[in-house]
Every structure is written in structure tokens, then in C-alpha cells.
Amino acid sequence: MHGHRPRTPEADRSRRWFMNKALLAGGVAAVATMTGCSSDASDTAAASSSSGAPNGAPSGGPGGGMPTGAMPSGGPGGGGSGMGPGQSEVKYADFKGVSTDGKITDGLYSIHSTDVSTDGIVKAAQAFLDGLSAKERKSCTFDVDNDEWLAWSNVDGYQRKGVRMGDITATKRDLGYALLGAALSADGLTQTRNIMKLNAFLGDYSGGNRETLTEGAYFFTFMGTPSTTKPWGFQYEGHHVAINYFVLGDQVVMTPTFMGSEPTSATYKGEKITLFKTETKAGLTLLRSLTAAQRAKVISSTKKSGDDMKAGAGQDNAKLAYQGLVAKDFTSAQRRHLLDLVRVYVGNMNDGHAEVKMSEVEDHLDSTYFYWMGETKDSSAFYYRVHSPVVLIEYDAQSPLAYGTKGGMGGPNGTPTQQHIHTIIRTPNGGDYGVDLLKLHLENDH
């Protein structure tokens, strides 16, 4: 036991302080428009009005930045990409996972050897924890089945627990980055760091003086104790990043992993950074490999809303039916493009465990669906989804909320753009957070 108990209702409400800030700034009607629900908006505001909060949203900065009273970038959305009214966190004990109809398909996952060592990840995690003070270590360690697993959000103003990177020494931060380096691929680490950098860019662009829009506003939490035999994991979370990493022996589950950014391309401290180019191109490549008849089944509409993500934060038990076209009858070239697309997301995990996951995806390729909303030009803002019994991927080009919003184009009424992209990868049917593996472990080994 690590001394942390599941959060109280009061603590849960304080996690949504940013919704109260939005209500105060823009009124209930504005938030209802953003979230797609209005019945409990005032209740949420009242419930969270006593919670503490950092400084409010910044006023418009250079270049027409975030207007006064605007929601932070990556704010809550009715599509499931944030936390807000009507979107409650699922408790660990009530977790089922994403399903097509509320019924979980059993027998998809098993405890087995992957022959891919996790020794380096365990050592890096222990080194980071050993480098912390006793107080810091206590603040970020939880039981392996704690609700904290599911208490993540992509929103910048979300009140998080754990060790904040900006509050520890450079030596300790380096140990944290070493853990990410062991757990992620080189591309995954680069992408994570670049998201953090563009978060800081957004802070500067929006006028500064907002602690959540910095490179330091990212948090580590640990569930269980790093071990090569016993279940444990860690979470790395902040604005536009949430990496959930479960380890059991030499098995790894790195879902849900949310990655996003606004903007997706900018120059920060002299470095030109462009994100999600590969994800964008891989989706278009697969779509363009389809015949006209196939595309007619895949594309539901050439229009999309400002936020179409369905399985984001707070949607751990989401019901999401298969849509689009199943890959059973794809040509070999089309199947290859589909696997290439999945590999872009799975490939954020270290190479060895990424290959293990890709084998699992291939085993269910005939049951994998591809779905699309929006136009199909290189520069178009679109949404796509890859969905099978063992993998769910969403890519969503969204409306601007903070970058380039001069003239009132922010929020859901603005035109979606590739300068604001959200992505997520999940393991449906109870696989997220390694929950299914943990249950099997407890049933068979204890």
C-alpha cells in the first residue's frame, strides 16, 4: 500500500476547476455550446466553485492569441476529448473498457512471455523514484489498481496529482526523461518532447504568465512498485499528452495514449517543430488506396465538426459501434497501408513491444474497420478512425481554441484546422491500463 486512497467526490470535483473558470468567463450557455450538454452545467459550476485554481486564462497575446475569457487549448468537448459536464471519470473498480455495445469480448488477452525484456524500463523507473525526495516520492506513488489511472485529461488547466517536472531539479528531470526514453521509441520520445515545447510556445503566444502552458507542466505518477515480475505502471500526463504505461513481467500495455497539439507547427526557441505530419499522411495514403466504391463506404461525410473524438478522456467505458469499411476484403496493398497507419501510433512504444502489439493487431486485421469524416486534400481538416477488437485509433483535426483565433474563430464554431490535432490509441475490450492482464494475474497467481 502506498498511502493513497481513491479520491473523494470533493477531490473529483476540484479536478474540473477549469469548467468553473469557463462558466465564470463565458456563462453557462457558452460552456453548454462547447460541451454539447447544458442540463448539469450550473451544478458543475456550483460543485467546483470552492476548489482552488491557478491563474485564469491569459488575455490576447502577440499575434492575436487567446482572447480574454476563451477556453484553454484542448478544452473539454462533447466528443469525449476532455473532461466537462456530462463526462465523468470511471472508477477503476467499474472499468470495463471501450466496447461496441457495452458487452466486452472475452479471451482476447493472455499472460504470456513476449521475449522482450522490460529490465531497462524497470531500472529507469526505479532510478527516477530513488532520485526523488521522500515527500516527492509519496506524492506520486499509488496502488496498482488506484483510480488515479483513469483520472487523466488532455486539458491544460486540469488539476493533476504526482510529481511536476517543472518543480524538480534538472538532474531529476533527466532521470524522468530517461524513463520515457526506455519506455518509448525514439520517435515517441521526440513527439512527446515536441508537444511539450509547443505547449510552451502556446503559453508565450498567449501572453505568458500561465503555469500550465510551459514545458514543466507535466506530471509523473506511479502505480505499484517497479518490478520485473509484479504488475506496476506509470502515467505521464499534461496538456495534450497522457501516456499510460502498464507492465507485467515482459508484457507492456501503453494505452490509452493521447497526443495532441495546438499549434501543430511553429518555431520554438529557434527550432522549427511540426507534429502529426506522419499521422496525417498515413491516413490519406490508406484512404487514397481505396477504390471509389470503397471510399463511399468509408467516408460518412465531407463535413466534420470542431470536435469529433469519441474515446478521449472520461470515456473509458464508451460504447462505439464499428463504422466504415472492414478490412477483410482489402487488397494486400491496402492491408499494408492499414498496418502502416496503425504502426505510426503503436510505434510510439519502444520498438520491441511495438512489434508485439503489431502482431496482435495483425491477428485481428480481418475485423479491423476504417472510417473517415471530412475532406481529403493534403491540407484538409478531417477525422479518421481505425477500430478492431484489440485497437482503437482516432485522429481529429479540431477547431482552433487558442492559436490563430483572432477575429472570433476559436471554439466549436470555428473552422477545423490541421493546426489543432488530437489523437488517441486505446486497447478495447478491457485492455486499457492493463486492466484485463491485472485481473488475469490476480486470478491465476494469487
In tens, the pLDDT along 51-107 reads 333 323 333 333 333 333 344 444 433 345 555 434 467 899 999 999 999 999 999
* Planar angle of CA 279, 248, 149, nearest 5 degrees: 65
pLDDT, average across residues 384-391: 98
Which of the pair, 6 or 175, is modelled with greater confidence?
175
Q: Provide the pLDDT for residue 45.
A: 30
Average pLDDT (304-326) is: 96
pLDDT at 254: 98
C-alpha closest to that of 397 among 268, 290, 263, 297: 263
At 83 the pLDDT is 56
Residue 109's closest CA among 300, 433, 423, 390? Answer: 390
Query: Can you give the pLDDT at residue 389?
Result: 98
Query: Is residue 176 pLDDT above 90, yes or no?
Result: yes
| Per-residue pLDDT at 126 exceeds 70 | yes
Question: What are the beta bridge partners of residue 319?
Answer: 99
Q: Which of the pair, 393 or 445, is modelled with greater confidence?
A: 393
Measure the CA–CA gap between 236 and 239, rounded to whole angstroms: 11
Say what the pLDDT of residue 56 is.
31
Quick one: pLDDT at residue 148?
96
Does the pLDDT of residue 18 top 60, yes or no? no
Between residues 7 and 326, the one the model is more confident about: 326
**Mean pLDDT (whole number) for 30-53:** 31
The amino acid that residue 231 corresponds to is: P
- pLDDT, mean of residues 277-299: 98
Lookup: cell for 171: 538532474
Kindly report which listed range (43-57, 163-177, 398-412) carries the lowest average pLDDT score. Answer: 43-57
Predicted pLDDT at 42: 30
pLDDT band at 444 (very low <50, low <70, confident <90, very high): confident
Please state the rounded mean pLDDT for residues 394-417.
78
Structure confidence at residue 181 as a pLDDT band (50, 70, 90) = very high
Q: Which residues contact 428 (CB under 8 A, 6 or more apart)?
A: 97, 98, 99, 387, 388, 389, 390, 391, 392
